Amino acid sequence: MTNPIFWVGVLTLALIYASLAMALNVESGWGGMWDLGIAGLLASGSYCYVILTAGPDLDMRFAPGLSMWVAWPLAALFTGLVAFAIGAPALRLRREYFLITTLAFAEIIRQLVVIQADFTRGTVGIPNINRPFDSFVSGREYNYVLLAIAAAAAAVMYLVTRQIGVSPFGRTLRAARDNEAVALALGKRVNRMRIQTFVLAGVLIGATAPVYLFYIRAISPQLFAPGITFTVWTALVIGGIGSIRGGLAGAFVLIVFTEAVGLIEVDPAHINILVAIEPFLVGLLLVLVLRFRPDGLFSERTAFGAGGRSNSRARDPRPAEPAATSGG
């Protein structure tokens, strides 16, 4: 069990969750939109990708059989559209009601996947999803390819979300989260910015969905129960909501921890306990972090506070940023 391939898998999963948590951080941490509908967005991106790339052998009603390199960006765009359809009405609601609405939308999406079995194969699911470079590398070695793909995706996600965070756009987003009335009084188009952010998070989650599928290899609606939303949230809370590196760090702690504990040898007679370990640990970590370190491992303060902010600007590679005059 403790062979390197196992840990390659754990690392890959951690990077995928890290990507999702960083995308969530943009809308929830900086945008202040408490989205409990991650599972629905992930389902939208995943099913869009799977349907667009499905071969004729699966006997699905709509199977254009596109190349995965075409389907991947289309899945991201489609998820952005779904996010817009959810966000436009839901963003009129206050935090608690927004949270319920996004949770409800995610469940509606999952039920629609179950019901529209002609298109999605419903609860039967779709096995053996095509993966990039599958034909060049075989079997065990492919796990390293997958790790590289997940690492590249997480790196892009980190760079994109950090750029959002330190930009004037991210700054105004945080400002409007802190005090909507003042932002409005300064002429900020708060609602439009929030919808843009919600859609952007949707696009980022949709772009991550195919990577998740490469790892999972088979898709069924049960994957997109609220549990996955809560896991992503737990990763973000552990890492620190609103910080730039929080999602990354939190996902590593959470996934490595749960997978390592899963290694403990359990008598087959108590197989139920094995199934229960993951939700138990996720729940326990969430409760403990909220109680003893509510800011998480990295706080927003260290990301944007006095020193942190000017440092992150000084490292910014883009010449157009006024790093030289910031004086900080």
Partner 1 sequence: MQNVVFGIVTGSILAVATLGFALVRQTENFLNIAHAQMMALGAFVGVVLVDTYGMNIFAAGAITVVGLGALGVVLAAVFFAPVRHQGGTVLLFTSIGLALMMYAAILALFGTQARFYPDVSGSLHRIGGIGIATNELVIIGLAFGSIAALQLFLNSTGLGRAIRSVASNDDLARVRGVPVRTVSHTIWFISSAFGAMAGVMLGVLGSVNTEIGWHNILIVLAAAVLGGLRSITGVILAGLLLGIMMDVSALFIPTAYRPVVAFGVLVAVLILRPEGILSIQRRKDAVAA
Partner 2 sequence: MELVLDAVRKTFGGVVAVDDVSAVMPQDQITALIGPNGAGKTTLFNAITGFDPPDRGSITFGGRRIDSLPPWRVAEMGLIRTFQTPVGFTTLTVRESMLAAATPHFVETPLGALGLTRRGRGHERVAEGRADEITAELGLADLLDVRTDELSAGDRKLLEFARSLMAEPKMLLLDEPAAAVAPANIGRLSQLVRRLCDERGLGSLIIDHNLSFLMQIADEVHVLDRGGLLASGPPAEIAADPEVMRVYLGTDGAGGDGP
Q: How far is the CB of 300 from partner 2 (least distance, A)?
A: 6
Does 98 help bind partner 2 (rule: CB under 8 A)? no
Nearest CA-CA partner of 42 in 286, 193, 225, 258: 225
Q: Is 294 in the site for partner 2 (CB under 8 A)?
A: no
Q: Which residues contact 212 (CB under 8 A, 6 or more apart)?
A: 16, 42, 46
Q: Smaller CB distance to partner 1: residue 140 or 293? A: 293
Stretch that binds partner 2, among 3-11, 94-102, 219-227, 303-311 (CB under 8 A): 303-311
Concatenated DSSP letters for 169-212? HHHHHHHHHH-HHHHHHTT--HHHHHHHHHHHHHHHHHHHHHHH
33 sits near partner 2 (criterion: CB under 8 A): no
In terms of Cα–Cα distance, which of 53, 199, 185 is closest to 131? 53
In sequence order, which residues have a C-beta less than 8 Å from that of residue 25 and are 6 or more positions away?
A: 161, 236, 241, 242, 243, 246, 247
How would you class 208 by CB atoms within 10 Å of its CB: exposed for 0-12, middle for 13-18, buried for 19 or more? buried
Return d(Cα 86, Cα 105) in angstroms, integer: 7
Among 122, 137, 188, 230, binds partner 2 (CB under 8 A): 188
Whose Cβ is closer to partner 1: residue 82's or residue 153's?
A: 82
Among the listed residues 108, 261, 263, 314, the single contact to partner 1 using CB under 8 A: 108
Please identify, using beta-carbon distances, which residue of 273 and 314 lies nearer to partner 1.
273
Q: Which of partner 2, partner 1, none interacts with 304 (beta carbon under 5 to 8 A by kind)? A: partner 2
In this structure, are residues 129 and 50 in contact, taking their beta carbons and an 8 Å threshold? yes
Find the shortest distance in angstroms from Cβ 323 to partner 1. 33
Is residue 168 near partner 2 by the rule CB under 8 A?
A: yes
- Cα(138)–Cα(282) distance, integer angstroms: 33
Residues 285-304 close enough to bind partner 1 by CB under 8 A: 285-287, 290-291, 294
How far lies 273's CA from each of 2, 269, 284, in Å?
20, 9, 15
- Contact between 103 and partner 1 by CB under 8 A: the answer reads yes
Stretch that binds partner 1, among 146-154, 168-176, 279-287, 318-326 (CB under 8 A): 279-287
From partner 2, partner 1, none, interface partner of 302 (C-beta below 5 to 8 A by class): none
Of positions 9, 112, 309, 312, contacts partner 2 by CB under 8 A: 309
Q: Give the shortest CB-213-to-partner 1 separation in angstroms.
A: 23
Residue 256 site contact among partner 1, partner 2, none (CB < 5 to 8 Å, cut-off depends on kind): none
**Can you tell me the distance from the alpha carbon of 224 to that of 38, in angstroms, rounded to the nearest whole number?**
9
CA angle, residues 96, 101, 104, in degrees to nearest 5: 130
Q: Which residues bind partner 2 (CB under 8 A)?
A: 160, 163-164, 167-172, 174-175, 178-179, 181-190, 193, 196-197, 200, 242, 300-301, 304-307, 309-310, 318, 320-322, 325-328
